[in-house]
Amino acid sequence: MMESPKGEIIWSFLVKMMMAKTYLQLVCLLICSLAIINAHEPCAKENVTSDEAYYVSKTIVQNAVSKGAVCLDGSPPAYHLEPGFGEGAGNWLIQLSGGAWCSSVKECLERSKSEFGSSRLMGPWWFTGISSKNQSSNPDFYNWNKVFVRYCDGGAFTGDADRVDSTTGLYFRGARIFEAVMEDLLGKGLKNARNAILSGSSAGGYPAMLYCDRFRELLPNTPRLKCMADSGYFIHVKDPHQAKFFTKLYTSLVALHGSAKTLPKSCTSKMRPELCFFPENMQQDIKTPLFIANSAYDKFQINATIANHVNGCIESRNCTASENKTFREFRSEFLNALPKANNPKLRGVFIDAFNHHSQTQFWWSPINVTTINNLWTRKAAQCSPGVDQCRTEDSTAKPADYSLGHLGHNNATMDRHVVGDMAKDFYL
C-alpha cells in the first residue's frame, strides 16, 4: 500500500523548532519550496500539471545502519529512484534534497520528528521539473535514471560525528549517508553510467559541490560526468550584520555535526571551517565540471541578509532609491563571488535577476521558464562545447535600473550569464 504524503509534518515541526521569528520565516521559505506538495497546498506551482508530476516511493538503504550512516533519529537513509528507459537507460541524474539546516541539539531534536530527520516519516516524493518523465517539458532528462536523495541529517550531508548525543540519542552522520547511498546506487547500475550528473537544490546545492570530485572518483569509467548546484550559492557578504545569519548558522552547524573533517582541506587549511561552507571559498578547488544556476537576488539569501534593510519592498512593489541601492550592492557582491570565466570547460553559470529560490524542481519547462537572450536555464545546462551562443555576456542589460518590484518568473531581463563549455554534450 502506498504511503500517504506527510507534508503537514514539515509545518508542525517548524513551528516547534524555530523560536526566533526571522529564522522561522527563513526556514519556512526554504523548506516550503522543497516540501511534498499537491495542487491544494500553498507551495504548489499552478502550472505543474498532473501528466508531468508524479509520486515515487522511497527506497530504504537498510545496510547503512551497520556503517553508522543514519538519519538524526538513527533510522536508515532513503532515496527515491525512477528507473530510466530507452536511450536514457544508461544515464543517471542524482539530486541531493535541500530543506534548511539544524545547528543546535534542540533544533535537530524537533527536526528528527519529521521526514527531514527520520526515514520512518518519509512518504513518496513528488517528481517534477528536472525529474519529470514528461518528454515535452523535460526533453533532456525525461528518460534518465532519476534519483532524489532524502535529506535527513540537518547538516547538508556533511556530518561525521562518532558520538551520539547522550541526552537525545541524536546522530550527526550526513557524510556517511552520502557514501552509503552512493554505494547502494552503484550496485543498481550507477557504476555503469554513460552520463551522470550530481545535483542539489538549496541546502542540497552545497553538498553537490562538496562531493563533486568524490562523485567523479566513484565513477572512473563514466565518459561524461558533471555537477550542478541550484540556488545553493549562498555568499559571505562583507557587512558583519548582514552576514550574521549564515556565519552563526555555519559555525554552530560545523561544531555540532563534526563537519570540519568532511570539508575540503584545501580550504580549511587557509581559514576557519565554517567559512568553507561558503561556496566562494571552496569551489575553485573543484576539478570536476560544475554548473551553477542561481538568482542574483535569491529569495532565501535576500531574506537572510538584507531583509531588514529593504522593508519588504519587493512584495509591495515599491522600493525606494535607497532600497534599490541596497539590492544593487548585494548583487555586485554576489556576482563578484561567482567563479571567474577563465576556464569555461570547468565552470558554467546561469544567473537571473528574479527574487525566487530553486529553479530545477519547478521552473524546468517551457511553461515556467527564465530566459536570458532567448537562452533558458535548461538550454544553458545542456550546451555543447563550442556553441558560441552558450557563452554570452550582455553588455546592454541594465539590471541596476529596474525596480525590484518588477521581478517575476517569465521573460527575464538579463542580469549576468556566463555559460561555459562544461554544461553538456550529455547526449550519446
Please confirm, yes or no, whether 357 is among the known catalytic residues: yes
- DSSP codes joined into one string, 388-420: GGGS---TT--GGGS-GGG--SSSPPP-EEE--
Contact yes or no for 415/397 (Cβ under 8 A):
yes
Please confirm, yes or no, whether 298 is among the known catalytic residues: yes
- Where do we find the cell 530510466? 84
Contacts of 389 (CB under 8 A, 6+ apart): 373, 375, 383
- The residue from 236, 257, 309, 357 that is catalytic is 357
Q: Is the dihedral of CA 146, 153, 208, 416 positive or negative?
A: positive
407: left (phi over 0), alpha (psi -120 to 50) or beta: beta
Please confirm, yes or no, whether 73 is among the known catalytic residues: no
- The residue from 73, 298, 352, 421 that is catalytic is 298
Instruction: Considering only CA atoms, give the Rg of the chain.
Output: 20
- The residue from 131, 201, 202, 365 that is catalytic is 202
CA atoms of 272 and 390, how far apart (whole Å): 37
Neighbours of 309 (CB within 10 A): 18
How far apart are the two ends of the chain, measured CA to CA in Å?
A: 38
Residues marked active site are found at: 202, 298, 357
